[in-house]
Amino acid sequence: MERRALSWLQRLTSVRAVVDDARWVVLDVEASGLDAAHDSLLAIAAIGVHIAAGHACIVLADSFEVVLRQPQAPPDRANILLHGIGVGRQRAGVEPLAALGEFMRFAGRSPLVAFHAAFDRTLIERHLASTGLPVPANPWLDLAPLAAVLYPEVRAQALDDWMGHFGIRCAQRHQAAADTMATAELLLRLWPRLREQAPPGVAAARKLASQRRWLGS
């Protein structure tokens, strides 16, 4: 599996990437702590949001989830209680090289979407580099500043705040697959205003989200 994932990823990055704007990949990660520059990547979950004729929909069949193997999984009880990935699951997970290669194969050339995306991006790209895998050029879209630009009247910052505003339910917070679904549902709630304020495509959405720095808090 590791050779297949590595070979596919090398082929993907050997040609100029063309963004697949018909399928956005919403993702969430779980980590051993809150320091993306040093903590370990424990799990990745992702789901495809398919876009056609200006409409976006979550496709449950187009989903991905993996726990990465941690040979030296520390018995951090507080952290384990938060994300529910116990020491046994961490030690029995998929080898990082294979797990990350399969995730990037799933992502393909789709934009990668997350809430507070810098954390997810730093963890994934750091672990790609540590396993010797190339970092693909998929564009990232952060829903946190995009939501703030699209709904300036809403005083919300955390994902829980936006979930409360839109009435989004999450089966289990701080569990990668459940948080991914909640984030994808948030994207769908933002979609009508996004279509009103920006032309189709992730590039326009990223440009709109970048306005957040000029608006302040």
Span 137-182, pLDDT tens digits: 999 999 999 999 999 999 999 999 999 999 999 887 778 899 999 9
> Where residue 6 falls among pLDDT bands split at 50, 70, 90?
low
What is the model's pLDDT at position 16? 47
* Mean pLDDT confidence for 85-99: 82
What is the b/e burial string over 103-118, where b = at least 16 CB atoms within 10 angstroms of the residue's CB? bbebbebbbbbbbbbe
> What pLDDT, on the 0 to 100 scale, is given for residue 34?
86
pLDDT of 194 > 80? The answer is yes
Question: What band does 81 get if pLDDT is binned at 50, 70 and 90?
Answer: very low
Q: Quick one: pLDDT at residue 214?
A: 57
58 DSSP assignment: E
Measured CA distances, 44 to 25, 96, 120, 183 (Å):
12, 11, 9, 14
**pLDDT given at position 212:** 77
Whether pLDDT at 9 is above 60:
no
* Sheet strand arrangement including 112-114: 55-67, 41-52, 23-31, 112-114, 140-142
Q: What is the pLDDT of residue 17?
A: 63
Confidence check: pLDDT of 92 > 90:
no
- What is the reported pLDDT for 14? 45
Residue 56 CA to residue 189 CA, distance in Å, equals 10
At 51-60, the pLDDT tens digits run 999 999 999 9
pLDDT of residue 216: 54
- pLDDT surpassing 50 at residue 188: yes
Angle at alpha carbon of residue 13, lines to 66 and 116, rounded to 5°: 50
Please name each of the domains of the chain with its CATH number.
Answer: 2-215 (3.30.420.10)
Q: How far apart are CA 6 and CA 100, in angstroms?
A: 9
